[in-house]
Amino acid sequence: MTFVRTVLGDIDPGAMGVTYAHEHLVIDGGRPVEMSADFLLADVDRLADELRAAAAVGLQTAIDAMPADCGRNPVKLAELSRRSGVHVVAATGLHHVKFYGAWHWSLRASEDELADLFVADIDEGIDERDYGGPIVRRTAIRAGIVKVGGSEGGPSDRDRPIFRAAAATHQRTGVPVHTHCEAGTGALEQVRLLVDAGVPASRITLSHVDKVVDRGYHRDLLGTGAFAVYDQAFRWRDRDNGTLQLLEWMAEDGVLGQVMLGMDAARQGYYAAFGGQPGLPYLLGEFSAAMQARGLDASIRRRLFVDNPSRAFAFAEVDR
């Protein structure tokens, strides 16, 4: 029996309902916040307000995409889920290299050591100290995705062992593999590496790819059988909305069964509860209206928000 692993326990994939597929609900310090104070998302009261506002317009599940040692806080994620009633899936794995710097411990760990750390977050519980140091104290809050960050154009020498460790983690636990595509690029190279390392393409979800508004690229990456997460919808300002354009093209190409939506709203400046905009409800309000106006109707939106995530984020069956 397959399941989705949330911070409050395992649920039936059919219970996910309306899902945002790449979020940052909590960033509790770490290098991202050193880079920009706007990344700090640590105030649980305000974040719970934001999440409740999204729940009020239909949000039921959020996939949190913050992996190890860059501000992840499993206790706060669980608290937010409890207060808002929204299912939250937490991540293990490692982010893009820019969030760690050149001397991070992950660069000196072997693939097997990395896989052991990822598997422990999934099987036992996420480290309360977020793998920020050698003293690990596991919570009972378990990770439901392994997230890895790839470099522009595809996995770099630094990224490859980390991607292979994620693949090993998938094989040991059945966990879905979620990736960061830097500048939206490198998705095909990521899928090739992960598939070669034993992950079925249907267990891979590729984030940020709608930064690249190229119909052929998207046709090719969905042609692999992987899922795409379009999480740039509110970022086009005065340009034509590339996310909408891609959704239209993928509808015409008959591949919307592999596309999901997310906000990737990793800054206070994007959250109404911190005085920012557009706020977490955006995809279910303004953007859903924009989709409707372009012929992407309620049945299509149901696939993007409900049907596709329930397949993409379910654990695969494994013999253990």
Q: How far is the CB of 121 from Zn ion (least distance, A)?
A: 18
Distance of CA 182 to the CA centre of its chain: 13
* Residue with smaller CB distance to Zn ion, 65 or 168: 65
Parallel/antiparallel/unpaired status of strands 204-207 and 177-181:
parallel
Residue 62, SS3 per DSSP: strand
Count CB-CB contacts under 10 A for residue 140. 12
Q: How far is the CB of 1 from Zn ion (least distance, A)?
A: 30
* Residue with smaller CB distance to Zn ion, 251 or 271: 271
Q: How far is the CB of 295 from Zn ion (least distance, A)?
A: 29
* Contact indicator for 13, 60 with CB cutoff of 8 Å: no
48 CB contacts (<8 Å, ≥6 apart)? 79, 80, 83, 84
Q: How far is the CB of 309 from Zn ion (least distance, A)?
A: 16
* Residue with smaller CB distance to Zn ion, 65 or 256: 65
* Residue with smaller CB distance to Zn ion, 265 or 296: 265
* Residue with smaller CB distance to Zn ion, 69 or 264: 264
* Residue with smaller CB distance to Zn ion, 204 or 251: 204
* Residue with smaller CB distance to Zn ion, 62 or 65: 65
Helix axes 74-84, 44-56, angle to 10 degrees: 40
The neighbouring-strand residues paired with 261 are 230
Q: How far is the CB of 265 from Zn ion (least distance, A)?
A: 9
By CB under 5 A, name the binding residues for Zn ion. Answer: 65, 264
What is the Cα–Cα distance from 110 to 133, expressed in whole angstroms? 17
Query: Which of 254, 241, 215, 246 has the alpha carbon at shortest distance from 229?
Result: 246
SS3 content of the chain, % helix, strand, coil (to 5): 45, 15, 40
Copy the structure tokens of residue 193: 């590496």
Q: How far is the CB of 149 from Zn ion (least distance, A)?
A: 9
Q: How far is the CB of 264 from Zn ion (least distance, A)?
A: 4
What is the Cα–Cα distance from 250 to 268, expressed in whole angstroms? 32
* Contact indicator for 57, 288 with CB cutoff of 8 Å: no
